[in-house]
Amino acid sequence: MKVLIIIPAYNEELNIKNTVEKVKSVSKKSEYSIDYIIINDGSTDKTLDICRENNYKFISLIQNLGIGGAVQTGYKYALENDYDIAVQFDGDGQHDENYIINLINEIKNGSDFVIGSRFIKNLSKFKSTGLRKVGIKILSILIKLCTNKKIYDTTSGFRAGNKKVIKLFASHYPVEYPEPESTVFLLRNNLKVSEIPVEMHERKFGTSSIKPLKSLYYMFSVSISIIITTMYKKGEM
Amino acid sequence: MNLSLKIFLFFILLLQFILIIYTIKSRKISMRYGSFWIFILVLMCIAIIFPNIFINISSLFGFETTSNMLFLFGFFFLFYIIFILTISLSKQQAIIKILIQELSILKAKIEKKDI
């Protein structure tokens, strides 16, 4: 069972070392063979230097592509190197490494795609700010309407997929705010998507890449993308 | 339409024409799109020489004035052109994204072999 942990990082000089060391410690403890790959999304700070100095495994995008383009690069790498499972794990320290194994186990139990969720079983003390929670809820209702499947944490970037998912995502992955749309894309392809509880933390350093002013337009365009993705017929995508 | 107006419009069209030919020749625009703009210019020439065609069409459709019709269709035309441009832009972005990804993966592989 070959597992790849995809760590997208954009200007994460303060967090990246911590994140990678945590992932490495998980990989040592685990029975599976767990590799990681950092996708440096054209950072303008010292992220790349830190990766070089510490001899980390990384792919450095020659231009900034945005989170979607970076994560997809990881899936392409996973496909090329024949990994069985790919796990998305943010470089900003928000995700808790102890749950990586839970995601992997859930896939071994038969799910094609697992989402680490802040909103089931209340494990996570840090959830989100008020308005963003409302947004996540609205997207959740919309996805339920479109696909008849309840996804609680629609914007979680802590996710894992099996070979089918790797293949699909390597060829199709949204560029901006990709999580909800890509989940609907998998559901439309009749993959089995499940959700397990995870803990998330507030980011230690730096600011999140999502700006509050843009969020209203974000809600609009993500809703449109969900509806349009639902309109594809199977095999058409 | 009086003669001096016609001459003035032809003069402007001529300048446009020279601009387009020059742009195609210096390869700043591809033949495919260049010929499209020349086609548009030819249509405009016809409109200047035989303005009656447009006057008749507009009264046939029931426009109050011919200029109303020209503005409306001109607007539709521009809207359509911009729409086509955004399609082409999206295509370019998708292609560039793939190029950046594949090149970066390749670069990482080569760097790894060097070590």
Q: State the Cα–Cα distance between residues A15 and A200, nearest whole angstrom.
A: 15
Buried b (16+ CB within 10 A) or exposed e, A110-137: ebbbbbbbbbeeebbeeebeeeeeebbe
User: Is residue B84 situated within a structural domain?
Assistant: yes
Cβ atoms of A215 and A139 within 8 Å: the answer is no
Is the CB of residue A21 less than 8 Å from the CB of residue B68? no
Q: How many angstroms separate the CA atoms of A137 and A142, rounded?
A: 9
User: Looking at the structure, do residues B84 and B42 belong to the same domain, yes or no?
Assistant: no
Host domain of residue B18? 1-49
Residue B32 lies in a domain: yes
pLDDT tens per residue across span B68-77: 999 999 999 9
> Nearest residue on chain B to A71, judged by CA atoms?
B101
Query: Are the C-beta atoms of A62 and B104 separated by less than 8 Å?
Result: yes
Quote the tokens at residue B99.
């190029």
Across all residues in chain B, what is the average pLDDT? 91
Spans of chain A below 70 pLDDT: 122-129, 203-213, 234-237
Tell me if B55 is assigned to some domain.
no
Domain boundaries, chain A: 2-231
Average pLDDT over residues B75-87: 95
CB contact under 8 A, B97 and A65: yes
pLDDT given at position A58: 95
DSSP string covering A112-151, please?
A: SEEEEESSSTT--S----HHHHHHHHHHHHHHHHHHS---
How does residue B42 score in pLDDT terms, banded at 50, 70 and 90?
very high
pLDDT of residue A204: 60
**Position B46, amino acid:** I
Residues B45 and B71 both lie in one domain: no
- The CA-based diameter of chain B, rounded to the nearest angstrom, is 78
- Whether pLDDT at B115 is above 60: no
State the pLDDT at residue A183: 95
Q: Evaluate whether residue B61 is within a structural domain.
A: no
Q: Is B54's pLDDT higher than 70? A: yes
Q: How confident is the model at residue B112 (pLDDT cuts 50, 70, 90)?
A: confident
Same domain, B41 and B1: yes
- Report ipTM (2 d.p.): 0.85
How confident is the model at residue A232, as a pLDDT?
81
Q: Are residues B73 and B44 in the same domain?
A: no
Residue A235 confidence (pLDDT): 61
* Interchain contact B100–A (C-beta under 8 A): yes
Q: Does A69 touch chain B (CB under 8 A)?
A: yes
Dihedral angle over CA of A194, A197, A198, A199, nearest 10 = 150
Interface test mutation site (partner A, options B93, B101, B112, B113, max chain A beta carbons within 10 A): B101
The one-letter amino acid at A179: E
Count of domains in chain B?
2
Residue B56 lies in a domain: no
pTM: 0.85
Tell me which of 3.30.1490.20, 3.90.550.10, 3.30.160.70, 1.10.10.60 is the CATH number of domain A2-231. Answer: 3.90.550.10
In single-letter form, the type of residue at position A189 comes to N
The tokens for A76 are 């392409």
A59 to B103: CB separation less than 8 angstroms, yes or no: no
Same domain? B85 vs B45: no
Residues 6+ apart with CB under 8 A from B19: none
